[in-house]
Structure 1
Amino acid sequence: MRTANGKGETHHTSQQHAVAWLRRAIVEGELRPGAHIQQDEIAERIGVSLIPAREALKVLEGEGQVTYIPRRGYFVSELLIEDLVEVNMLRELLEDRAARAAVEFFDDDALDRLEQAAEECSRASTSGDVAAQLAANRRFHFGIFEAGSGPHMMRLIRLLWESTEAYRAIYYNVEAERHAADDAHARILEAARARDTERLVAELDAHRDHALRSLVQILSRPTD
């Protein structure tokens, strides 16, 4: 298939579509941790050729969501507590710095966008729409981080978020945790509106730490 803009753009669009499909399938549990990903079957299900499907898997490998084993292929990455703890430590370093840099750039429009994202997250929480809540949650947090951060900082933050999106989906599958996140967002937004840097950083840290503790408990439970 070729668009008016040429074959290259169509190929790129197919790859983006494959990346989005795979991310969603992992987050929603359609592709479970440890599952072997058959490239030809996945390409057929997504509706793309093998090449963009393979390139999409390489993107997810770079994010840590899938693992490539020579002569065996791609597998959905296992959810390991030690990986989550390490990523959270790195997130704290980068996100605290990004939040501190953001405060002076919070104008009314930026704060209104944060409030809108928080409201969308809350509506998704109430309806139990985990995919929608994940998307709104990302808009909320990135609305803070992007305010005062350059492209290199944001590239690293995005990479860390992508590598833990499957963990985040598990967290939001618990109703009590969905509501806990809504409460945390309200406190974070209040600190942002007050332009209170120390409070903003403290609320973001508390939100992240609570999610980590909850996920450690969930992942530590014995499976059938």
Structure 2
Amino acid sequence: MSTDRPRPVIKPPTAQESVLRELRRQLAGGVLRPGEPMQMEALAESFGVSRVPVREAMRILEGEGLVDYTPHRGYTAARLDVAEVTEIYRLREILETEAVRVGLPRLGAADLASMAEATQQVDAACQAEDLAALTAANRRFHFALFTPCGMPRLLRILEQIWSASDQYRALYFGVAPHREQMREEHRRIQDAALARDEAALLRFLDAHRAHSVPLVTGLVRRATAPAGT
């Protein structure tokens, strides 16, 4: 009797999933700017779908804090807010520290290989100046480190927090020196993970976040300052 396991059936993405993925890409890549109107009719036409999957995707993005909805005016890409940046990074510090402490002893060869692959993808995206691809590769790098904690609820909250901050990350990655600093910090984080050095790993992750906060908040202040100030 054959012991082969049945192959899983991979279903193609639904229209709503495809629209959601593309909208996230545009928000993360800075294609859709903070405060920019998002007309469902125009988006549905550009994606070649009806308004229904666009509306469903918008509701998900609204729940994640990536878009705002105003009655009688519709949806806009979420506006930037300095206080939100500070809160997001504080929450990241708390949750990521716990994920690393629990997960580092479980970090396996496959997780380290995922980090290495994500590093290559980050380098390629920086070379191409593709902010959407860079945002996705950066997330894969970090979550290769977080996922071994095996705490699904914590990881879901972290995913939501990271999604809510994609627009801020697009501002940060839009500056070439920031990208180079990020790559250098990633190398230190990866080396500490390979060495299973918890103290160094947490220290480098803290520094990685700490370097980003003043830079991101400064960019947000400039982006939201009234014209002429």
TM-score by length of 2: 0.88
Q: What's 2:199 paired with? A: 198
Q: What's 2:41 paired with? A: 40
What amino acid sits opposite 1:16 in the alignment? E
Shift of 1:74: 1.2
Cα distance in 2 between the residues matched to 1:44 and 1:120: 32
Shift of 1:223: 6.1
Shift of 1:32: 1.7
After TM superposition, the structure 1 stretch with the greater mean CA deviation from structure 2, 141-150 or 52-61, is 141-150
Map 1:1-224 onto structure 2 (within 5 A): 13-221=14-222, 222=225, 224=227
After TM superposition, the structure 1 stretch with the greater mean CA deviation from structure 2, 118-127 or 190-199, is 118-127
Q: What's 2:5 paired with? A: none
Shift of 1:16: 0.7
TM-score by length of 1: 0.90
Check the 8 A contact 2:106/2:148 in 1, yes or no.
yes
CA root-mean-square deviation? 1.7
After TM superposition, the structure 1 stretch with the greater mean CA deviation from structure 2, 194-203 or 24-33, is 24-33
Deviations 1:61-93 (A, max 9, x none): 011000111232211110111111111111111
Cα distance in 2 between the residues matched to 1:85 and 1:138: 19
Check the 8 A contact 2:99/2:147 in 1, yes or no.
yes
Identity, in percent, stands at: 37
Deviations 1:124-154 (A, max 9, x none): 2233222221111111001011011321111
After TM superposition, the structure 1 stretch with the greater mean CA deviation from structure 2, 205-214 or 173-182, is 205-214
Instruction: In structure 2, list runs of 5 or more residues that go unmatched.
Output: 1-8
Deviations 1:102-133 (A, max 9, x none): 11112223212212211221232233222221
Check the 8 A contact 2:104/2:198 in 1, yes or no.
yes
Check the 8 A contact 2:30/2:131 in 1, yes or no.
no
Cα distance in 2 between the residues matched to 1:107 and 1:29: 34
